[in-house]
Structure 1
Amino acid sequence: MDYRKNQVVSSDVYDLIALIKILNSNCVTSFRDCLSKLLSSNVEDPIVCLVTDALWYFTQSVANGLKLPRIVLRTSNIFSFLVHKSMPSLHERGYLSVQDSRAENRVPEFSPLKFKDIHWVEASHLESVLQFLSILIPEVKASSGLIFNSNEDLEQEALTKCSLDFPIPTFSIGPFHKYFPASSCSSLLPQDQSCITWLDKQAPNSVIYVSFGSIAAMNEADFLEVAWGLANSKHHFLWVVRPGLVHGSEWLELLPNGFLEMLGGRGNIVKWAPQQEVLAHPSTGGFWTHCGWNSSLESLCEGVPMICQPSFGDQKVDARYISHVWKVGVHLEFKIERGEIEKAIKKLMVDAEGQEMRDRVKLLKEMMNLCLKRGGSSYKSLDNLVTYMLSL
């Protein structure tokens, strides 16, 4: 597969970054005014620090002007943050302009990543992205601390490297979603609870759950390959097809006539699902995912192995980590083709290799639960964060 083929996705990423840059330029005055009012109106219960995402780098200068410490929040994992931090130097060494002949080669300082995993933006947009990072990274280093949606047990090596690259207090307190009940979380679309009733009727570990998140899109050809791959696998599946998933399509009109009837109840397609509840369900045996970090964490926390089909950005790094470091996923990286999909589902749901992944991810689930309990790494890190904030 040509790893550069998805120019639509690359352009969308560039457009998103362009929007973020505009907001960083245009929101300074209004944000400063709003924050100033908050500071002046909370004299008895003073605001001790500002917590903002790294993307909003303009908030560092605002915080400095108001003599307010800023702590940076990153919702990605630590490893992918380090990769993005290193993109300017990777570009200088020619790693971001790699040709097809080197696409499968490993990136020396970021094993097990391959060159194609860090080639996530078109050459015509690269300079703009690098310029964006050249502003963002120094503002992170100028902050008073870093918060990650990860934990020490999961990313010890990356956390150690991050502490060297960013000599500021770092707090890995994830997984964030475990601090809140699933019912309290916001949802992009109305969740179809009927799929839980459907899952209740399925055998344990028999269903492959398919969802490509809230942003990723695909073309008609890939959509049909996914459909036929699921159908031909003979496995039960719950497939989230959100409106707009396929370019130019409303919902399911691209499916062949009689497709749903042909499945005989083996497949269930919904517009949106209560994902945490689905992943926690005993009938769910695998998760075919775009590898967004939130979805990846939710799957790890519920002990569900994955089929990894990343689309852009951090997702490619996440997929490589899931499949090659933690070894709890099948990486569907070469092409979206029904035969390859069948093989991936069989490997995950039937083969001995899939059972090994299942065993490993159960251990990760236990680790993720322990890290949040008293004495666990995230519990201690959160306690340290609160103490640190109160000391500023």
Structure 2
Amino acid sequence: MEEGKGRKIIMFPLPFVGHFNPMIQLARIFHHRGFSVTILHTSFNFPDPSHYPLFTFRTIPHNNAGGEDPMTQPDVSSMDLVAFIRLLRQTYAEPFRQSLAAEVGREKTVCCLVYDAVWVRNTEVAAEELGIRRMVLITQGVASFCAFAALPLLRDKNYLHIQASRLHELVTEVPPLKVKDLPVMETNEPEEFYLIATDMVKGANSSSGVICNTFEDLERLSLMDISSKSQVPIFPIGPFHKHNDNVLPTTKNIEDHVTTNWLNKQEPESVIYVSFGSLADIEEKELLKIAWGLRNSERPFLWVVRPGFVRGTEWLEALPSGFVENIGQKGKFVKWVNQLEVLAHSAVGAFWTHCGWNSTLESICEGVPMICTPCFTDQFVNARYIVDVWRIGIELERTKMDKKEIERVLRSIISKEGDGIREMCSELKERANVCLRKDGSSSKYLDKLVNYVMSFDSNALAS
């Protein structure tokens, strides 16, 4: 493709895996359409550029004159996520402004800045000073974003002081959500969380446009809602990872081969794949409930337990002596997998997930039923849509988990009881495939997005 040849897009991802990956996938989409891409990335969690040879990476230095990165201080690891994001935004505000100015100074062909919605406070003034148009990437589902947009109203109506007696009450302002589904987070800084959430919405509305990793047939009503309340164009061009330019050859390591070989020995649609994402953590007692529930279900399972997932431990030390050995070939514990390959494997029959948006989309695209155990913020919204709107999963609340309930849910989703769910999964998988075809909705929106970005005058501010 030649459309964007000779033009550059600058991208600014949030340095967490769940935010970085969709930004990289979007970068590949732009590159495939002829644009060059430079990625400004914090010194915190800086990626290995050799893994992404298509792009130019620039490090944004931290603003600590003493030289040591404030994001790596010992007390940072004990912060809750909201406090951590606050520190992140403060640490990189001025360094980002300087890095963006330097990058624009290198090139006169910069079309726009594409940034993660969480960064809005770091980007607005800097981009305006340089006359650069801003495009926002929403890395969560549009339904979640609409719930964030409703937070001021919900706060005025006293929903956000969540009471145990109201957890199952329908929130009539944002159906089909119940009070327990509102995208909140346990934090010592509730006002800061509210500020981050409302900043995201305000920043999107003040930008030149919003790019969404979703597709029209999946979130049609939510897209209509956000479009009716926003003055900027919305581009639902997902699923990002299914675009042809994101289907890349991968080099498998020994662990990948071991996992694939184990999956190859399992019956079709028999394996429970378990992964709770890159940020959530659990207590030892929760690990034990999950482990015994998986064992007693008598279903084969593949469980990703990343190092540090269990608070206070390195990996599987909390499991009883001999537990892993007694499982034998019936279950497999790993520290990491290529999730896209696992979900696409014919042996996988269900995905027990935290309902992060990337995992949700990946499961939908492979037609895999979900067991939903959300941990925080938008994951609650995603779980409600998975269970009650799209009807492609079963709810298993974290607060109500015990080994008996886990055993019951795992057996039911793999058995004939789950046939209706599998049928809906197959239908939604086909819709995801259709949207990416030449005349599909996501393909058409991508053409509109490319033409829109091409129309930008790099010296003119967004109105």
Instruction: Give yes or no for contact 2:140–2:213 (8 Å, CA) kept in 1.
Output: yes
Instruction: Give yes or no for contact 2:82–2:189 (8 Å, CA) kept in 1.
Output: no
Q: Which residue does the alignment assign to 1:52?
A: 115
Q: Which residue does the alignment assign to 2:83?
A: 18
Q: Which residue does the alignment assign to 1:133?
A: 197
Which whole-Å CA distance do the structure 2 matches of 1:156 and 1:14 have between them? 37
Out of 265, 270, 295, the residue aligned to residue 359 of structure 2 is 295
Q: CA deviation at 1:134?
A: 3.8
Range that drifts further, 224-233 or 244-253: 244-253
Q: Which residue does the alignment assign to 1:217?
A: 281
Which whole-Å CA distance do the structure 1 matches of 2:309 and 2:299 have between them? 23
The answer to whether the aligner puts 1:112 opposite 2:112 as a matched pair is no
Aligned length: 377
Q: CA deviation at 1:51?
A: 0.6
Any idea what SS the aligned residue of 1:24 has? helix
Instruction: Give yes or no for contact 1:182–1:276 (8 Å, CA) kept in 2.
Output: no
The answer to whether the aligner puts 1:41 opposite 2:106 as a matched pair is yes
TM-aligned CA distance change 1:21 to 1:125, over 3 Å: closer
Q: CA deviation at 1:193?
A: 3.2
Which whole-Å CA distance do the structure 1 matches of 2:198 and 2:333 have between them? 43
Identity %: 45
Any idea what SS the aligned residue of 2:80 has? helix
Which whole-Å CA distance do the structure 2 matches of 1:82 and 1:66 have between them? 30
Q: Which residue does the alignment assign to 1:29?
A: 94
Which whole-Å CA distance do the structure 1 matches of 2:183 and 2:263 have between them? 38
Q: CA deviation at 1:380?
A: 0.7
Any idea what SS the aligned residue of 1:56 has? helix
Instruction: Give yes or no for contact 1:191–1:274 (8 Å, CA) kept in 2.
Output: no
Instruction: Give yes or no for contact 2:183–2:381 (8 Å, CA) kept in 1.
Output: no
Out of 396, 400, 409, the residue aligned to residue 335 of structure 1 is 400
Which whole-Å CA distance do the structure 1 matches of 2:88 and 2:291 have between them? 39
| Structure 1 counterpart of 2:450, one-letter code | V
| Structure 1 counterpart of 2:98, one-letter code | D
Q: CA deviation at 1:14?
A: 7.5
Instruction: Give yes or no for contact 1:152–1:377 (8 Å, CA) kept in 2.
Output: yes
Instruction: Give yes or no for contact 2:118–2:199 (8 Å, CA) kept in 1.
Output: no
| Structure 1 counterpart of 2:416, one-letter code | D
Out of 226, 234, 247, the residue aligned to residue 181 of structure 1 is 247
| Structure 1 counterpart of 2:240, one-letter code | F
Within 5 A, what are the aligned runs for 1:309-320? 309-320=373-384
The answer to whether the aligner puts 1:383 opposite 2:442 as a matched pair is no
Instruction: Give yes or no for contact 1:190–1:272 (8 Å, CA) kept in 2.
Output: no
Out of 231, 241, 246, the residue aligned to residue 167 of structure 1 is 231
| Structure 2 counterpart of 1:56, one-letter code | W
Any idea what SS the aligned residue of 1:296 has? helix
Q: CA deviation at 1:67?
A: 1.2
Which whole-Å CA distance do the structure 1 matches of 2:77 and 2:424 have between them? 35
| Structure 2 counterpart of 1:30, one-letter code | P
Instruction: Give yes or no for contact 2:183–2:379 (8 Å, CA) kept in 1.
Output: no
| Structure 2 counterpart of 1:289, one-letter code | T
Q: Which residue does the alignment assign to 2:51?
A: none
Q: Which residue does the alignment assign to 1:364?
A: 428
| Structure 1 counterpart of 2:408, one-letter code | K
- Length-normalised TM-score, structure 1: 0.91
Q: CA deviation at 1:239?
A: 1.0
| Structure 2 counterpart of 1:98, one-letter code | I
| Structure 2 counterpart of 1:49, one-letter code | C
| Structure 2 counterpart of 1:105, one-letter code | E
Any idea what SS the aligned residue of 1:112 has? coil
Range that drifts further, 132-141 or 160-169: 132-141
Out of 234, 240, 248, the residue aligned to residue 304 of structure 2 is 240
Q: Which residue does the alignment assign to 1:268?
A: 332
The answer to whether the aligner puts 1:351 opposite 2:416 as a matched pair is yes
Which whole-Å CA distance do the structure 2 matches of 1:142 and 1:266 have between them? 53
TM-aligned CA distance change 1:269 to 1:132, over 3 Å: closer
Which whole-Å CA distance do the structure 2 matches of 1:289 and 1:68 have between them? 39
The answer to whether the aligner puts 1:153 opposite 2:217 as a matched pair is yes
Any idea what SS the aligned residue of 2:180 has? helix
The answer to whether the aligner puts 1:285 opposite 2:349 as a matched pair is yes
Q: CA deviation at 1:183?
A: 4.6
Q: CA deviation at 1:127?
A: 2.0
Instruction: Give yes or no for contact 1:203–1:283 (8 Å, CA) kept in 2.
Output: yes
Q: Give the gaps of 5 or more residues in structure 2.
A: 1-75, 457-463
Which whole-Å CA distance do the structure 2 matches of 1:123 and 1:203 have between them? 43
Out of 197, 205, 222, the residue aligned to residue 261 of structure 2 is 197
Which whole-Å CA distance do the structure 2 matches of 1:145 and 1:360 have between them? 32
Instruction: Give yes or no for contact 1:50–1:69 (8 Å, CA) kept in 2.
Output: yes
Q: CA deviation at 1:38?
A: 2.4
TM-aligned CA distance change 1:249 to 1:203, over 3 Å: same
Any idea what SS the aligned residue of 2:351 has? strand
Q: CA deviation at 1:350?
A: 0.5
Range that drifts further, 220-229 or 170-179: 170-179
Out of 103, 118, 128, the residue aligned to residue 167 of structure 2 is 103
Range that drifts further, 26-35 or 229-238: 26-35
Q: CA deviation at 1:264?
A: 3.8
Instruction: Give yes or no for contact 1:14–1:121 (8 Å, CA) kept in 2.
Output: no
Instruction: Give yes or no for contact 2:82–2:193 (8 Å, CA) kept in 1.
Output: yes
Q: Deviations over 1:225-272 (max 9, x none)?
A: 101100100111111111111111111222122223332421111111
Q: CA deviation at 1:112?
A: 1.8
- Length-normalised TM-score, structure 2: 0.77
The answer to whether the aligner puts 1:121 opposite 2:185 as a matched pair is yes
Any idea what SS the aligned residue of 2:394 has? strand
TM-aligned CA distance change 1:155 to 1:40, over 3 Å: same
Which whole-Å CA distance do the structure 2 matches of 1:183 and 1:290 have between them? 27
Instruction: Give yes or no for contact 1:95–1:115 (8 Å, CA) kept in 2.
Output: yes
Q: CA deviation at 1:274?
A: 1.3
Q: CA deviation at 1:163?
A: 0.6
